[in-house]
């Protein structure tokens, strides 16, 4: 059974008018927690969407940057997106529910923010409204400004290339501190570690781009300091 089919089944409670909060309450342990993570990304991603009405195939393809949608599953993915977007709850309610599942500052919440940034920048642009949305979600998640700047540095196409922001360290940080931040980021991004955090396989691939970015940032800083 694909993750999209499982998500569709989990969201069947929406037909009773209970809302996504009821879904999150029912999804507590793996593999249900993996489904909850996926629903969280979709629910918050749906709130970022600007278009009204029915979700088109083109809109669903934006999720391919985060999730692998197999042929024949597009309809399930679109249904999940539509159900999440039509729910009356605001995005802050979703964010608080998710933060409550994992705890403020949890690594899974950073993984979720990675997914949201991928969706927000899927069209090659990063709008002010998306920035305000993501900043508020990060605040609710208990993630600091340094973490948010690191996400912006890795994902936003027009963001000034700042390797220090990517690693989440200050420009005046000692090289040992920068190296420690780089090593920590590499450890956190290892596929086995991400899988151990209960993430679905679809979300683990976010680590690939993150690992490339942090390694490039370390190389840039270390080479500049050695010059």
Q: Which three-class secondary structure string do you get for 173-221?
A: CCHHHHHHHHHHHHHHHCHHHHHHCCCCHHHHCHHHHHHHHHHHHHHHH
153-211 per-position pLDDT tens digit: 878 877 776 889 888 888 899 999 999 999 998 887 776 776 676 665 655 666 677 78
User: What's this model's pTM, rounded to 2 decimal places?
Assistant: 0.73
Q: What is the pLDDT of residues 69-87, one digit of tens each?
A: 667 777 777 777 777 777 6
């Amino acid at each position: 059974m694909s993750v999209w089919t499982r998500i569709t089944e989990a969201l069947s409670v929406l037909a009773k008018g209970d809302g996504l909060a009821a879904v999150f309450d029912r999804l507590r342990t793996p593999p249900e927690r993996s489904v909850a993570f996926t629903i969280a990304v979709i629910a918050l991603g749906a709130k970022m969407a600007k278009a009204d009405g029915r979700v088109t195939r083109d809109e669903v393809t934006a999720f391919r940057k985060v999730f692998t949608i197999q042929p024949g599953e597009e309809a399930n993915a679109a249904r999940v997106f539509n159900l999440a977007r039509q729910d009356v709850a605001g995005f802050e309610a979703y964010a608080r529910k998710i933060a409550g599942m994992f705890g403020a500052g949890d690594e899974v919440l950073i993984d979720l923010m990675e997914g949201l940034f991928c969706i927000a920048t899927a069209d090659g642009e990063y709008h002010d409204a998306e920035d305000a949305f993501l900043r508020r979600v990060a605040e609710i998640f208990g993630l600091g400004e340094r973490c948010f700047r690191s996400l912006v540095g890795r994902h936003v196409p027009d963001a000034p290339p700042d390797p220090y922001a990517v690693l989440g360290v200050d420009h005046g940080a000692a090289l040992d501190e920068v190296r420690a931040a780089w090593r920590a980021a590499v450890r956190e991004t290892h596929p086995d570690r991400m899988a151990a955090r209960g993430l679905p396989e679809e979300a683990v691939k976010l680590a690939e781009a993150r690992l490339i970015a942090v390694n490039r940032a370390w190389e840039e800083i270390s080479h500049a300091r050695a010059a």
